[in-house]
């Protein structure tokens, strides 16, 4: 019997994540199922990535204080919004 490797993540992006909004910056590593970021204050943000029907990827991050950032990636970059309506721009390397 021949066994073939299966992709567990469904092709979700992984690697190094970096997002900025004015003077705030969050960065970290992860794969599609589990992403862990850290901001300039040392707080950790946990998140996931989900592939949507139109091949875009939706990201959701939450910190221990209940703050959240969510948004989408279209393959060129990532745009996120927080609860206050601020826009976070970033990339995945």
Q: For the chain, what is the radius of gyration of the CA atoms?
A: 14
Res. 93: pLDDT tops 60: yes
pTM: 0.79
Whole-angstrom distance, CA of residue 22 vs CA of residue 53: 32
Residues 18-77 pLDDT 10s = 999 998 899 999 987 799 999 998 999 999 988 888 888 899 999 999 999 999 987 778
Q: Residue 88: which pLDDT band, with cuts at 50, 70 and 90?
A: very high
- The domains of the chain are located at 15-92
Whole-angstrom distance, CA of residue 60 vs CA of residue 12: 14
């Amino acid at each position: 019997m021949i066994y073939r490797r299966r992709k567990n993540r469904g092709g979700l992006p992984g690697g190094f994540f970096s997002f900025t909004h004015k003077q705030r910056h969050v960065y970290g590593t992860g794969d599609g199922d589990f992403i862990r970021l850290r901001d300039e204050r040392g707080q950790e943000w946990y998140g996931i990535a989900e592939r949507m029907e139109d091949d875009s990827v939706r990201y959701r991050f939450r910190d221990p204080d209940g703050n959240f950032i969510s948004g989408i990636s279209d393959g060129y970059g990532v745009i996120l919004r927080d609860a206050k309506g601020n826009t976070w721009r970033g990339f995945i390397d």
